[in-house]
Amino acid sequence: MLQRPQRGDPFWIWALHWWEWLSWALIALVTLITVLGDAPATTRYGLPALVAVLALCYALVRGYPDNPVLRPYGYLCVLVAVLGGLSYVGDGLGVFYTVTLAQFAVFVDSLRSAVVYTGLGALAITVGGTLREGWRADVLAANAVSSLAVYAVGILIALLTPRALAQRDERAILRAELSSARLELAEVYQRQGAAEERERLAREIHDTLAQGFASIIVLAEAARSGLAVDAGRSALQLQSIEQTARENLAEARDLVGAAPRSGVAAGSVATTLRRTLDRFTEDTGLVVTAELADVDCDQPTRVALLRCTQESLANIRKHAAAGEVGVVLARHPGGVELEITDDGCGFVVEESHGFGLDGMRKRLAEFGGDLLVTSSLGGGTRILATIPLNGQE
């Protein structure tokens, strides 16, 4: 049984749907006119009785489509019988066969069934009309010709409906596949976004909290070992521990959204890097030579340069065993360059798989920048970070 059309169904499916409802409007109108008119008693009482039976069966089969007792084919049998009865009780009521042709296509599930039941309807009105007018050969022939003409239209409807249904099913499959693809794509984007956010948080934690805690550990060990030898220096180291812990707390609040992102105070990038280098010198005692140009750049770029500096200095402190560190910040036509060198033990770049260097590369890549690492065993290390400034002065 043809269900209510959905958006995107072929025009023919919608046409059958509206024809089905239009047929009931016409049946109701004809019934009303007949009852209120001066038709013979047989017609005036027989017509509404037959229409009432048909309407009740229609309501039942439409209201309970899955009920095994109220099968659509049972309704079509009632329709055929009612059409025959209408043709018998009133002149011209055989036109109801034309009005209800759509139902013979709506309530079947195969072309063969549509052809058979449409033919039974034509036979019913032919027999009913002939019985009413008198069973004569000429009357039977006239009624048969008119019924066959309408039956031909019914055959055409029966032929067109399966094609429209197939087209509807194809579109339904395509819509389902499209909806499924959209859901899968949304899930992919969601997973990708979650992965990118986890990676960003991991990078931020590594560049801020992890580095701060590492610094606290180093300072705490130095302060503990120097308490008996140099209490003044130990006091300075304890002060640095306190300051680093406060900065870590601020960074933690930044990461959970309790304060503006980055935790980097406004100002020039040179001033920001100078404070970081001073802290590094104070904590480690290493000699730091800095040439910091007054480069004007936006806040995200300043944060990226600061994080690269912090990561490089943390690596120098933990791994390089260096005596001197050089930092150069320069402005070039294509952007800004940050160079950090040390005279430490160096390493084999190809064998380095740490999170720090990879995080620096990804952070710079977000700005269209690049990271070049040059090092050799015993030959120190050179870190060169470049970021295009995109027209910033």
pLDDT tens digits, 247-302: 767 666 655 554 444 445 455 788 888 888 988 888 888 899 999 998 888 888 88
Q: What integer is the mean pLDDT of 176-181? A: 79
Helices (H), the chain: 11-36, 41-63, 72-89, 96-99, 101-106, 111-133, 137-205, 211-226, 231-255, 269-284, 299-315, 355-365
Question: What gap in Å lies between CA 146 and CA 139, rounded to an integer?
Answer: 11
Phi (first) and psi of residue 325, to 5 degrees: -130, 140
pTM, whole model, 2 decimals? 0.44
pLDDT one-digit tens code per residue, 25-82: 888 998 898 888 888 888 888 999 999 999 998 888 877 766 655 577 888 899 999 9
Predicted pLDDT of residue 66: 64
Q: Which two tokens stand for residue 317?
A: 């402190």
pLDDT value for 232: 78
Which is more confident, 206 or 312? 312
Q: How far apart are CA 212 and CA 178, in angstroms?
A: 50
Residue 171: pLDDT band with limits 50, 70, 90: low
Identify the residue with better confidence: 250 or 151. 151
- The angle formed by the CA atoms of residues 259, 263 and 268, to the nearest 5 degrees, is 135
pLDDT averaged over every residue in the chain: 80
Residue 259 has a pLDDT of 43
Q: 355 and 261 in contact (C-beta within 8 Å)?
A: no
Which pLDDT does position 258 carry in this prediction?
43
* Angle at 343 (CA atoms; ends 342, 348), nearest 5 degrees: 85
State the Cα–Cα distance between residues 206 and 321, nearest whole angstrom. Answer: 21
* Distances from the Cα of 309 to the Cα of 275, 286, 360, angstroms: 11, 15, 10
Higher pLDDT, 157 or 290: 290
Q: What is the pLDDT, as a whole number, of residue 163? A: 55
Q: How far apart are CA 304 and CA 131, in angstroms?
A: 97
State the burial class of residue 73 (Cβ atoms within 10 Å of its Cβ: 0-12, 13-18, 19+): middle
Q: Are strands 370-375 and 324-332 parallel, antiparallel or unpaired?
A: unpaired
Taken in order 360, 363, 365, 370, the sign of the CA dihedral is: negative
Dist. CA 1–CA 20, nearest whole Å: 13
Q: How many CA atoms lie within 13 A of 43 on its CB side?
A: 20
Q: Is pLDDT above 50 for 393?
A: no
- pLDDT-based confidence at 371, cuts 50/70/90? very high
At 374 the three-state DSSP class reads: strand
- Give the per-residue pLDDT at 5: 52
Highest average pLDDT, of 142-156, 166-180, 315-329, comes from: 315-329
Q: What are phi and psi of 246, to 5 degrees?
A: -65, -40
**Nearest residue to 118 via CA among 153, 70, 169:** 153
Cβ(293)–Cβ(270) under 8 Å?
Answer: yes
The 10s digit of each residue's pLDDT in 338-368 is 999 999 999 988 887 767 788 888 889 988 9
Return phi, psi of residue 374, to 5°.
-125, 125
Q: Pick the range with the lowest mean pLDDT from 93-107, 158-172, 179-193, 293-307.
A: 158-172
Q: Is 123 helix (H, G, I), strand (E, B) or coil?
A: helix
225-252: average pLDDT: 76
Percentage above 90 pLDDT, the chain: 16
| DSSP state letters, 286-312 | -EEEEEE------HHHHHHHHHHHHHH
Between residues 59 and 386, which one has the greater pLDDT? Answer: 386
Q: Is the pLDDT of residue 110 over 80?
A: no
pLDDT at residue 222, rounded to an integer: 75
331: nearest Cα among 293, 289, 302, 365: 293
Check residue 340 and give its pLDDT: 94
The pLDDT, as a whole number, for residue 59 is 85
Q: For 218, how many CA atoms within 13 A lie in the half-sphere containing its CB?
A: 19
pLDDT of residue 170: 59
Lowest mean pLDDT among 85-89, 152-156, 167-171, 199-203: 167-171
